[in-house]
């Protein structure tokens, strides 16, 4: 596949779409990019993403909870609503070690 030029939908500038990139996108079943690399990177930064997990280096909101198994106070990354039991890390791992 020869290198093609794509016009960025964000900045309007042309950018190359190399044959290696085309093969990679095709092998993954991806559509060709619509934005150039600098515009894609800027969009990721504005969303707070940029890596696996999407945290972008930000600290996660933690909520206080009482473990349903051992009763200690712990923190979890979601706000408990009382409909399901909440476990501390150790009890959660013990609950799931049987699988």
Reading the chain (99 residues) residue by residue, the pLDDT tens digits are 788 999 999 999 999 999 999 999 999 898 999 999 899 888 888 876 555 555 555 677 888 999 999 999 999 888 999 899 999 989 988 887 765
Q: Which domain holds residue 84?
A: 63-96
- 58 domain-assigned: no
Strand partners, 28: none
- 12 domain-assigned: yes
Strands 4-7 and 73-76, sheet pairing: unpaired
Given a contact cutoff of 8 angstroms between Cβ atoms, the answer to whether 49 and 58 are in contact is no
Phi and psi at residue 22, in whole multiples of 5°?
-60, -45
Strand partners, 64: 75
Looking at the 3D structure of the chain, how many domains does it have? Answer: 2
Task: Give the SS3 label for residue 72.
Answer: coil
- 28 domain-assigned: yes
């Amino acid at each position: 596949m020869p290198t093609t030029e794509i016009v960025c939908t964000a900045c309007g500038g042309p950018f190359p779409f190399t044959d290696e990139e085309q093969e990679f996108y095709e092998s993954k079943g991806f559509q060709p990019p619509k934005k150039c690399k600098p515009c894609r990177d800027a969009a990721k930064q504005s969303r707070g993403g940029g890596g696996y997990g999407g945290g972008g280096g930000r600290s996660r909101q933690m909520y206080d909870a009482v473990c349903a198994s051992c009763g200690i106070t712990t923190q979890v990354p979601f706000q408990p609503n009382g409909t399901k039991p909440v476990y501390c890390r150790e009890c959660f791992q013990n609950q799931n070690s049987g699988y």
